[in-house]
Amino acid sequence: MKTSKMNILVTLAFSFVFFACSKKDNNTQPNLAVPPPAVTPPTGSAGETGFTISQGLSQASPKVDLDTTYIYTNSTQSVAYYKPLPAGYNDNIKSFILPKGYMVTFAENQNGTGESICYVAAVSAVKENLPSRLSGKVSFVRFSPIKYTTKKGLGQQDATVIGTLNGSWYYNWGLSATSTNTKTYVPMTWGKGGASATNVATFIDRKDIDHVLTFNEPDNSTQSNIANIDTAVARYKLLLQTGLRMCSPAVEQNSSSGNGKWLPDFMTAAKAQNVRVDIIALHWYDWGNQTEQKATPQLTAEAAFGRFKNYVEKLHGVYPDHNLWFTEFNCNPARSEDVHKIFMKLAANYLNQLPYVERYAYFFPAGLAPTTGAPNYTLTALGQAWNDIAAPPAYTYNIIPK
């Protein structure tokens, strides 16, 4: 947002590696020696996990099952969590079966770059032929469990506040937190320094995450400030090696659409380089209208909500092939608690109804905190209003990209 939210810049060691875009490894991948995660996939009879790749269309034989322990890639690098695809399957996968509760990423290149696609079997098993752009061209496969959440989440840094508020997922503008029994964590690289080979290795090794948030307001000189689009795409591309679902950089509301704006320029450059973006992450604060006050808080909130609704619909039109996450939004820090309470409910109820909005997290402005803080962390009126909002599941259908 335009005002300084907090000192959320995470100090990260800079480590940047360019990966070759050819199918050959060329020794460009870093030796990220991380032990494979100890995940036990669903099993049937011996050798069956429920995730089947096939050399034929419509899951015809020959076919074989893969498990969640490794990323399957024919990289020549000796990396603990890499495992070669079974003999005969590199550049020869044409269809698959993905069991319910799992996701899979297929990519053209051995480092997860090039043409790629991510499927999510959220409500039922998925049986699909790969699209022509990947059929018989896959050299990278990651099969992993998904984390079921509701749409409503949290952007908070205080662990006690996170535990006090309702929301089944959260992020903290950083990398160091973990998922709990009730809340799934989503790491954020925040700036370009966070998109490092070291962090990629950590993401791959973690069993408690399934998404990555990337850059925070790269269009804003007071936030991650990545003015050069080519730099942003190159750093983002490194993160594709994780095989996780990827969120776009989250820009300020006025940089999300239009000629010469940051996010459209990023998406155009990403498309030109076959860089996969699974989700569009967005911010909205009603900037430009913050001084508008109607006769009552209800009327002020309703007017702000009308503008928010128009923004959501516009962005869905701009990015019709992507689901949306609103990782920061409110009716503007300058408005009263009463206006925020009304707007919050209107906006959440609206987002709950939209099948293309997967997740949202309200940003509580300074001076309008959701709790009283230490030592008691009692909910404020605004915090209670947030907790009173019910939310449906984030996934209501399988994700089958084009």
- The whole-number pLDDT of residue 172 equals 98
- The whole-number pLDDT of residue 77 equals 59
Residue 400 domain-assigned (yes or no)? no
- Token pair of 126, please? 């998925």
- Token pair of 62, please? 């020959």
- The whole-number pLDDT of residue 76 equals 63
Residue identified by tokens 């206006």 is: 339
CA separation, residue 334 to residues 135, 145, 326, 331 (Å): 52, 42, 20, 8
CA 106 – CA 115 distance, rounded (Å): 8
pLDDT tens per residue across span 20-73:
333 333 333 322 222 333 334 444 444 578 999 999 999 999 999 999 989 999
- The whole-number pLDDT of residue 18 equals 33
Exposed, middle or buried, 315 (CB in 10 Å: 0-12/13-18/19+)?
Answer: buried
Which residues are within 8 A (CB) of 268 and not within 5 positions of it... i.e. 6 or more apart?
none
Q: Are residues 250 and 169 in the same domain?
A: yes
| Type of residue numbered 335 | R
Backbone angles phi, psi at 277, to 5 degrees: -125, 120
CA 360 – CA 120 distance, rounded (Å): 19
User: Which of 97, 125, 145 is the C-terminal boundary of a domain?
Assistant: 145
CA 83 – CA 72 distance, rounded (Å): 5
What SS3 class is residue 152? strand
Q: Are residues 112 and 167 in the same domain?
A: no
- The whole-number pLDDT of residue 1 equals 54
CA 175 – CA 10 distance, rounded (Å): 8
93 close to 116: Cβ distance less than 8 angstroms = no
Residue 185 β-bridge partners: 170
Please state, as a whole number, how many other Cβ atoms lie within 10 Å of the Cβ of residue 295.
7
Domain count for the chain, please give it.
2
Residue 102 domain-assigned (yes or no)? yes
- The whole-number pLDDT of residue 37 equals 34
Q: Are residues 133 and 172 in the same domain?
A: no
Query: Going along 353-399, which residue ranges are E strands?
Result: 357-362
CA 177 – CA 165 distance, rounded (Å): 16
Residue 402 domain-assigned (yes or no)? no
Q: Are residues 329 and 201 in the same domain?
A: yes
Residue 396 domain-assigned (yes or no)? no
Which residues are within 8 A (CB) of 272 and not within 5 positions of it... i.e. 6 or more apart?
none
Range of the structural domain that residue 211 is part of: 152-387
What SS3 class is residue 141? strand
CA dihedral sign, ordered 113, 179, 160, 11? negative
284 close to 308: Cβ distance less than 8 angstroms = yes
Q: Are residues 218 and 295 in the same domain?
A: yes
Q: Are residues 330 and 233 in the same domain?
A: yes
Please state, as a whole number, how many other Cβ atoms lie within 10 Å of the Cβ of residue 229.
19
- Token pair of 181, please? 């029994």
CA 252 – CA 270 distance, rounded (Å): 19
- Give exposure, 237-250, as e/b (b: 16+ Cβ within 10 Å): bbbbbbbbbbbbbb
Per-residue pLDDT 10s for the chain (402 aa) are: 544 343 333 333 333 333 333 333 333 332 222 233 333 444 444 457 899 999 999 999 999 999 998 999 977 655 678 899 999 999 999 999 999 999 999 999 999 999 999 999 999 999 999 999 999 999 999 999 999 999 999 999 999 999 999 999 999 999 999 999 999 999 999 999 999 999 999 999 999 999 999 999 999 999 999 999 999 999 999 999 999 999 999 999 999 999 999 999 999 999 999 999 999 999 999 999 999 999 999 999 999 999 999 999 999 999 999 999 999 999 999 999 999 999 999 999 999 999 999 999 999 999 999 999 999 999 999 999 999 999 999 999 999 998
Q: Are residues 132 and 192 in the same domain?
A: no
pLDDT tens per residue across span 333-356:
999 999 999 999 999 999 999 999
User: CA-based angle 105:232:216, to the nearest 5?
Assistant: 90
Q: Are residues 193 and 253 in the same domain?
A: yes
| Type of residue numbered 11 | T
Backbone angles phi, psi at 119, to 5 degrees: -105, 145
CATH number at 129 reads 2.60.20.10
CATH number at 230 reads 3.20.20.80
- The whole-number pLDDT of residue 161 equals 98
77 close to 29: Cβ distance less than 8 angstroms = yes
Peptide bond connecting 375 to the previous residue in cis, omega within 30 degrees of 0: yes
User: Which of 130, 145, 160 is the C-terminal boundary of a domain?
Assistant: 145
